[in-house]
Structures are given as structure tokens and as C-alpha cells.
Structure 1
Amino acid sequence: MTDVAAAIAGAHREEWARVVATLARRIADLDIAEEMAAEAFATAVERWPVDGVPPNPGAWLTTTAYRKAVDRLRREVRREEKHREALVLRDTDAPEPLGAIEDDRLRLVFTCCHPALAMETRIALTLRMVGGLTVAEIARAFLVQESAMGQRITRAKAKIKAARIPYRVPDREDLPARVTGVLAVLYLIFNEGYLASDPGRTAVRADLTGEAIRLTRLVRELLPADGEVTGLLALMLLTEARRPARVTAGGELVALHEQDRSTWDRELIAEGHALVRARLATGEAPGRYQVLAAIGAVHTDACDIQATDWSQVLALYDLLVRLDPSPIVRLNRAVALAELDGPHVALAAVDGLPLEGYHLFHATRADLLRRLGRDDEARAAYDRAIALAANSAERVYLTQRRDGLR
């Protein structure tokens, strides 16, 4: 046995009882005294081989054990104080409600759609900050240059900072003033999912369409009497129902008139039709989303493209033009017009629309020119559409249409 080991063993024999008795007298707790004495001997085993045996091993053990006991008691006292502090700080009541909107993402959408910002600005900012869309994707949705959209979003952030617009979760009474912007955001997210504008992504993004539908359902629960909320939900459902037939197994787009309608989701169609009928039954004047949903209901009610009630579709587009006389609405109206009055009438309605930077404008013109037998002009229009189209699957489809010309 080494000298250090002998010293520890000797100290243990000579001092254990005295250390325990001394500590017990000082702290009036025999269990703690024994525990601290044991810790003191454990410390001796660790320290003495390194530091050497102290001149008075017994006194060293007593002092070390006493200090450990004092530290132990101080911790116990502080533990009680901290416990009392925790009870004061702890919210024993039920957590305060987060406002009228429980869903985290939807709450952010409503919060970002602040009425102090212009409608297009709040939509663009919300799509970027909450929707997760890139500046390029947002720019394509608004048919503007990416640089212009980036500047718009930057200015919106600067205005929020300069005007000190508060980041405040809206109360229930605030929702009607913000819902128009919220619906526009959700619709654009859905559209980006239904046909992705990013060339690096697949043609259809079910994650975006599914999330847009989920959030719109939640908005309808918050505002069940709002006809436009119901209309947008119906529109999304009827559009989503066609998704299984929209893209081939190889990732190529399939036009509406070529789709296998037996693959359409009948449950979504039934739900969408029920929502459209419920809004019609109210007798209230429909808004933009309700009219678009009604158009979708006509398309999904037909067993094939020939059975489509194009006169009803055109009448609905005429109503929509009065609500939203935008060039894109007029372009879509021309598609129905071509089915009723012929491609020459539709082409006259399309030509002159200020949509030179929109690929579907040129794709629509190309199809009308093809039907009129004006293949050279159709080819040039297809080339322009292909150059402007962002999605690779859409470019493939347009290329096939162009290459099918005589």
C-alpha cells in the first residue's frame, strides 16, 4: 500500500466517526453528515495522490465535509427560493387565446395583409414572407419583371418600417377588411401549385395546392357567410379535381379537351358543385371567385369537351368581365367565344390585348391561327409562347403543338 493510500485508510479509521459526529452537531442531520463525510473521503482519494497527504488528514476531512454540507444547505435554501419564484412567474391559468385564428400560417397571412398597404403590395409581400414563393414566381404571377417585383417588395418593407405599422394579430372584427387580400394570396399560391412557373420544378406542386385548399377551408370556418370565400374554395376543389388527368406519367401537360375525365376526383367535384349550388341558392349577387367557380362547375359537369355548355360558359365570362375587366379574363372569354362563334371571332377579340409578355396570350393566338389554317402565323405565335413559358413541361407541350403544324 502506498503512503497516500495508507494515509487515506488511516484517516478513514481514525476520523470517520469524528467527522460524522462533528457535522451532525453543526447541521442537525445525521444522514447529510454521513453523506458529506463520504464525499469528503471520495475527494481525498482524488486529491491526495496529486496534492500529497495534508499534515492533519483528519482536520482536512472534517473541514472538507463541513464545506460540502454548507454548500448543500445553501443550494437547498436557494432551491426553495427559486421554486417560489417559478410559481410567481408561471402562468397557472389557461394560455391566452391567440385571437380568432388558431392556425399559425393563416394567422400570419391575415397579419401580413395589412390594410395600410396597397392591395397588390400586401399580396406580393405576403406571398414572399409567408407563402414561400420566390420573387421570380411572384413576378410571373403579376406579369411584371422580377426586378420590378423585387423593388415593390422592398418598398413595402420600408413603408412598414417608416410608418411603424404594428405587427399585430388581427381580431375577429378585423378579418373582413383583410379577407380580400388573403383570398388573393391563397388563390395565387394555388395557381403556382397547379402550374409551377419555376422551370426547375415539376409542372404540378400538390404541396401548394393542398395547403391553399386547407387554409381556404379554415377561412371559410372563420367567415362562413362570405360568398367569395365559399366561391374560392369551390373553385379550388373543382380545379384540383382535374389534377390527376393534367400531367402524363412522363410529366407532360395534357390540355383540357384531351384529358381522361374518368380519372377526375369525383368527391372533390361533388363537394365543389354543392358549394356552387349553395351560393346560387342565396340569391346574392356573385363575386369574382363565385363566377369562376360556376365556370369550373360547368366544365366538370360535362362528360367530354363536346358536351360542355359553352353558351353558359360564355354568359358567365360576360358576367365576369363586368366584375373584372382585366385582359386575362378577356383572353379566357375568347376561348369560349371560339367554341360558339368560331376562331375568327375569337381572334379578333384577342388581338390588341395588352398581354405581349404573357405566354398564354401567344399560345391562345397560336391555337386560333392553327384552326384558321394560318400555319405560318401560328408557328410564329407558338415560338413566342415557348420563349416566354417558364415551366419546362409547358414548353414541351407547346413545342409539340407547333411541330404538329403542316
Structure 2
Amino acid sequence: MKEAENRACEVMLHAGLLPQLATMETIAAAAGPVLEPFVQYLLRHISTPRGVDGVSPFELNAALANALIEGEEALTGLVSLAVSIVPLAPAAATTNSSSLTAATSGGVCSVSSLTRVRLTLHPAYPLNLIATDSFLNLHTMLWTLSLQLQWVAQSLIAARVCLWKESQSQKRSGTDNNTTFSTTTAPSTRAVQQEMLHLVHAVRQHMLTHVENTSVRMRRGIATCGSLREMQKQCGEYEEELRHGCLLHDTSSSQLGSRKWHNHNDGPAASASGSPELHSSLLEVLESSLRHCILLGHARQAKILINKAKQAQLEAEDAEQEALALDSLEFAKQKFSQITCAVAATEREFEGHRVAFMERVSVYGSEAGAHSDAARALLAAVDIQGRWQPQKGT
């Protein structure tokens, strides 16, 4: 019996089990030369006013198929992938369309909207013999988190470039500070953006490193297994380590994304059983960072309207046209002022969410268990000023 089990394991390994597991690592990271074209296609198309609703599932799957065909690795023979867009619930759709704050906060362009982009995995033989539903769901959750981190990082980089260009243009032309970020505000905004970008990059790098290291250990363990049950046990241990190390939990990403805490005093302290609070806190950080980028984009649009109104005022041929141009100018200036205030409020909101996240990571890293090592590593990577140390929750 033992010899038969060993032989079965050898057959599975010979049939390509380890490359399949390596493919799952690539999928979880949503990176690599094969998936990169599709990921960029997706992020580019959701960065529009319509967000996820402006993306065609047919075009998404076509882009995914093209990426797999043109990739250097034949992923299609290892794991079958498909993408679908989950429809927005009617109540949520009504709320988004009627809310006055949606227009200024980005509306449907939110980090949590990426949970509606569902990746379906169908592993081929022999991975399908050991891959449970929880194993596959974990990789789709990691896929979503990786996309969220990449989206926010790219948005922050684009916003920083635009802000720098505006600053240089202001220095050359001496633009009126009433219609642009002043010389005192711009450095503050750039500093906040730097903090946002560092946190996002640190979390993403921590996630990628943890997924890679854990996946390597799992494949080494799988290679020495002598039975199907031992392989399944290795996969179970791998799942548990990834869930703790990547700030995930059995709760689905969509449920986590729906939880809202407005300051770091809300909700219980993070614990080994409170990983959802830690993940939810991270999502709040990402949401405020993305909102910040979107609001800066609205501010640039408002400045364009201001310049157009000024030009129309100069070109007015009679008093009526001049009055209309003046009204447009006042409206645009008022809108720009409101957006500027919203940008400052979002920066304060980010700081509150960042403190909440750091507190939860700090508490999480102080607890007993293997997960605390990953939490302490994350805390050290995120805390560039060395202000936080693992400490017990109260």
C-alpha cells in the first residue's frame, strides 16, 4: 500500500504538479511577464469615470487569453483562467448614483470595486487532486489584493508626476495661487503622497516576498510527500501561513471591503482571530489614497475650467457674454476651492487610517504564533521612521 502511494505521488510530480503550484504563485501575485499585459489592460480600463462597470467581460477575457497565448509560459495547460464582472447590487447602485459625495470621492472608482472582478481558477490534473475550494479562493483573494495595491500605486505615481509638472509650470509662468496649489500646500501634498506610496509599496513587497517564500517551502514539502494525504496537509499549512502573512482571513474580500471604520479608535484591536480587522484597515488606507488621487484629478479639471472662463472673459464681445464668462469663472473657482478642501480632508483621513493600520499590525506582531513574525517584518518595512514596535492590545 505504501509503495502504491509513493508511486502515485511520483506520477503526480512527473505530470507537472510543481510547475502548477508555481503557476498558482504567479496568479496570486498578479505579476510576471505572462500576466502583466492583462493586469495593465485591466487597471487602465477601470481607471475611468465608469470604473469596473465600464469594462466588458468579453474584452477582459480576450485580453487574458491573448496574454496567456503570447506569454513565455504555457499557463493554459496548467490552470484554466476566466474573468467575470459581478453585477453591482441594486441598492448599492442607487446609493452610488444618488450620493453627492460620490462625485467628489471618485464614485465607482474605489478599491473595493475590484472585488467585483472575479477570477475563476480550474486547475488541471494533477493539481485538481489536492487543490481544495479554500485553496483556490485564497489565491483569488490574493489576486484581488495584489491588483488593489498595484492600482493605488500606479495612481499615486501618476498624481505625483502631474503635481510636479504643475509646480514647474507655476514657477515658469507665475500662476495665480488662487487657482493652483500654493507653494506651501504642494510640498505638504507631495509629502503625504510619498507616505502613501511607501506604505503601498511596502505592503505589496511584503506580500510578494511572503507568497514566494511560502510557495517555495510548500513545493519543497510536496516533493518529499509519500501520499496524497500528506500533500493535502502541506497545502493546508500553506494556506494558513499565507492567510496570516498576507493579512487575509476566511471572510471574503467583498465582505471585508464593505466594512467601514472612520478613525483608528473604532472596532476591536487586531488579533490572531481578528485578521479581518487588519485587512479592512489596509483597505481603508488604500481607499483614502485612491480618493486622494481622484480628487487631484478633479482639481486639475477645475483649473482647466477656470482658465477657459478667463479666456472667454477676455474674448467677450458684449456685456452679456462677459457676465456669462464671469459666472462660469466664479463657479469654477468655487468648485476648485471645494475640491482643495476635500483634498486636505482626505489627507487627514489617510493619516487616521494609517495610524489605525499601524496599530493593528503592531498588536498582531506582538502575539504568539508564526503569523507574528510576518507582522513584525511588515511593521519594520512600513514604519520608515521607527515609531512603532510590536505591543500588546488593551
Larger radius of gyration: 1
What TM-score results when the alignment is normalised by the length of structure 1?
0.24
Relative contact order (C-alpha < 8 Å, sep 6+): which is higher?
A: 2
